[in-house]
Structure 1
Amino acid sequence: VLIDPIPYIQSVSNVTTSSGGTDRESDEAYRERIHIAPESFSTAGPEGAYEYFAMSASPLIVDVSVREATPGVVEIRPLLQNGELPGQEILDLVLETCNDRKARPLTDHVQALVPEQVPYDLNVTYWIGTSNSNTVATIQSNVEQAIKDYKLWQCSKQGRDIDPSELITRVKNAGAKRAMVSSPVYQAVESYKVAKLNTENITFGGLEDD
């Protein structure tokens, strides 16, 4: 929408598809950026400095991985809110910010890339104790929310191992008596990769004696 009329301009439109969007940086991302801010005082190429400058490029960025892929080549991979992968516009912003001569050593070749994804399936069966038979609907709702929170937790940071024990803990804390996770199995995730949910199957196994 063209708010202020401009001579000879009849209309405006986006040249790319809009995605994400935020009014301001989240408290968690801002807290992390404050924590690593001292790293930005050096232009000797510390990992933390690249993380700081990359996170400063956009308030949508909540996590950044930095690694030297080959001597002199620095790969920077930003991750957006809710585990979303960055589009080309965000990558261009990160590259512009981190490739500035005031931010990088002269000999570094900086690349802004999309985090690699590690797919996993989610197959969970849970049971509720008979002593909670009067609150089955509430517990089921809590379990559904716990699983939703786990999925967000799993994809919100690069290098976060795929950990079924975290899922079991959350489901039991939500009120389930027992939880059986057939997948995923534990899998280590490298620092420049992020977990990605492939298929999902959640089953309520019924009531069990306490």
Structure 2
Amino acid sequence: MEQIEVGSTDLIVSDSGSIYDATIGALEQAVAEPLYPGDERRIFGEGMAAVLSRVHGTIQDAAQQVMLRYARGEVLDALGARLRVFRLDGDAARTVLRFTLGAPQALSVAIPEGTKATPDGSVYFATDETAVIEAGATSVDVPASCTEVGAAANGYGTDAITTMVDLIPYVSKVTNVTTSEGGDDGEPYTVAGDDRFRERILLAPSHLSTAGPEKGYVYYAKSADAGISDVAAMSETEWMSRELPVSAGRAYIGGELLIPETLTINGQADGFEYDYEDHLLTIRLGPELADADTVLARWQHKMDGRVRIIVLMEGGGYPDEDTLEKVRAAVSASDVRPLTDVVDVDGPELVPYDIELEYWTTPEDEATVVRSVEGAGGAIERYIYEQGSVLGRNINPDMLESYIMRPDWDDSLKGAIRVDMTSPQHLELEGDEAACFSGNIKVTHHVTTKARWSTWT
């Protein structure tokens, strides 16, 4: 994610302590004597200082709104519009509804477009097209979308949407035959929505000519769908191998797109050293290879003009074909893609991990700690979401342990006093890989009255 690194942006004094001292000091100077606590003039000054602190804070916030780092809401919209960058709308969750007749009919029964069904009376799905139950048949499957955009309608499992809102003669039953999915919130006027929009504005200058630069491809890909969490643009690679002559214990490979860290000699990744400067890879062979006439070298190199774009969905999801097609269209437009580039769009290589751990808490904190670890939005859910939201993010169990012991996202939560982690194990990922929770989880908590974390407490 793009970050804005700047120094202090305080435009006026907004620190309440400084304003208080300045206000009382000005009053004491005006009356030419100290104003002690309880003095009605000092009390008046303290009230003035409180008002001035609020005014200065409001002025500071308003002035900072012209800066991309601090802008939010409609002000951020205005900054984006200067670069022709606009908020992405959300998408509605989708499913397939099956309408079933009470008995076969002699005539066809139509299911009009827009026919609604609901799982709970608060979320509604409407059919995307008109469908017909043919004479003699008893059911038909119809694609349907939620009437409101957003991720809240995702995750309704099969047979969860069973209440018909619009009654149709002879139809006795409706149910969803697929889990609802594909809904996202776009870039709403929330902190998270503003942050995602701000990141695209930061990338916007890279798209002003074509998508040739790496960040240009990332910008266009992210702008294709609001549900995209991360994008990587990289050159495609291929393996090369060649018999190299050896001279004075050295061998050489020329080329400007080599990836020297992939080099092997005679099938081994050790027994040699190398330097790569001015497009020349100089290989210094060890004693066992230095006297050979030739060695077999194998290495990867970047393919000129071949671009690979990896797309990761919000929460670590793999993109469906519709999303991939949107990205292909966005990065391959005639006014975007350089003529010499061949672009391939795909999802990441998903690397699964399990969660198995034990943690300890005290009796008085048990309920709060269990909620902070295993509850909705707790440490485990937070870790799974954040671990899978960025391409190439190493699988790091230390972060999960930190969330369990220090749940600093909510002041009302308390952390465990000890964690024993079996999995996941630390694993470094490549830029085209993403961590994916396997669904295998075993979490056990213990209650202890011995909460000491060292021998002196």
Normalised-by-shorter TM-score class: 0.7 to 0.9
1:7 — aligned with what?
none
In structure 1, the partner of 2:182 is 20
SS at 2:353's partner residue?
A: strand
2:313 paired with 1:194 = no
8 A Cα contact 1:29 1:61, kept in partner: no
Matched, 1:11 2:244: no
Distance (whole Å) between structure 2 residues aligned to residue 28 and residue 20 of structure 1: 21
Aligned residue in 2 for 1:74 = 307
| Of 140-149 and 22-31, the range deviating more from structure 2 | 22-31
Q: What SS does the aligned partner of 1:157 have? A: coil
Q: Which residue of 1 aligns with 2:318?
A: 85
Aligned ranges 1:53-72 → 2 under 5 Å: 53-70=220-237, 71=303, 72=305
With over 3 angstroms needed to count, the CA separation of the structure-2 counterparts of 1:99 and 1:141, relative to structure 1, is: same
| Distance change (3 Å), C-alpha of 1:44 and 1:37 | closer
Query: Would you say the 8 A contact 1:66–1:192 is kept in 2?
Result: no
Decide which structure has the larger Cα Rg and report it: 2
Residue type of the partner of 2:399?
Answer: E
> What is the CA–CA distance in structure 2 between the aligned matches of 1:186 and 1:24, rounded to whole Å?
32
**Structure 1: tracts of 5 or more residues without a match:** 4-9
Contact persistence 1:116–1:193 (CA under 8 A): yes
One-letter amino acid matched to 2:201: I
Do the aligned partners of residues 116 and 139 (structure 1) sit closer, same or farther apart at CA in structure 2, a change above 3 Å counting? same
Distance 1:23 1:170, change over 3 A: closer
Does the 8 A contact of 2:211 with 2:331 survive in 1? no
| Shift, 1:135, TM fit | 2.3
State the SS of the aligned residue for 2:395: coil
Alignment partners' CA distance in 2, 1:44 and 1:103: 5
Kept after mapping to 1: 8 A contact 2:359/2:444: yes
Secondary structure (helix, strand or coil) at the match of 1:160 reads coil
- More relative contact order in 1 or in 2 (CA 8 Å, sep 6+)? 1
* Structure 1 equivalent of residue 124 of structure 2: none
Residues 115-130 of structure 1 mapped to structure 2, 5 A cutoff: 115-128=348-361, 130=362
Match of 1:179 among 395, 409, 419: 419
Retained in 2: the 8 A contact 1:74–1:108? yes
- Alignment match, 2:113: 2
Q: Distance in 2 between matches of 1:103 and 1:182?
A: 48
Aligned to 2:207: 40
Structure 1 residue runs of 4 or more that deviate by more than 2 Å after TM superposition: 12-15, 22-29
Identity %, equivalent residues: 37
Tell me the secondary structure at the aligned position of residue 49 of structure 1.
helix
For 2:233, give the aligned amino acid.
V
Which residue does the alignment assign to 1:143? 373
**Equivalent in 385, 398, 409 of residue 165 of structure 1:** 398
Q: 1:186 is paired with a residue of what secondary structure?
A: coil
Q: Decide whether the 8 Å contact of 2:212 with 2:337 is kept in 1.
A: yes
> How does the TM-score come out when normalised to structure 2?
0.42
Deviation at 1:23, TM superposition (A): 4.7
Corresponding residue number in structure 1 for 2:445: 204
State the superposition RMSD in angstroms: 2.1
| SS of structure 2 residue aligned to 1:150 | helix
Q: Match of 2:230, SS? A: strand
Equivalent residue pairs, number: 201
Structure 2: runs of 5 or more not aligned = 1-111, 115-128, 132-141, 145-177, 188-192, 238-302, 408-414, 453-457
- Which residue identity lines up with residue 11 of structure 1 in the other structure? T
Instruction: Check whether the contact 2:211–2:217 (CA below 8 A) recurs between aligned residues.
Output: no
Q: Secondary structure at the match of 1:58?
A: coil
Separation in 2 of the partners of 1:90 and 1:105? 22
Q: Name the structure where helix makes up a greater proportion of residues.
A: 1
Whole-angstrom CA distance in 1 between matches of 2:354 and 2:320: 25
Question: Aligned with 1:39: secondary structure?
Answer: helix
TM-score when scaled to structure 1?
0.88
Change (3 A) 1:118 1:177: same
Query: Which one-letter code corresponds to 1:79 in the other structure?
Result: L
**Does structure 1 retain, via aligned residues, the 8 Å contact 2:417–2:451?**
no
* 8 A contact 2:373–2:404 mirrored in 1: yes
Q: Deviations over 1:16-63 (max 9, x none)?
A: x87312353233321221111111113261110000000111111121
SS at match of 1:102: coil
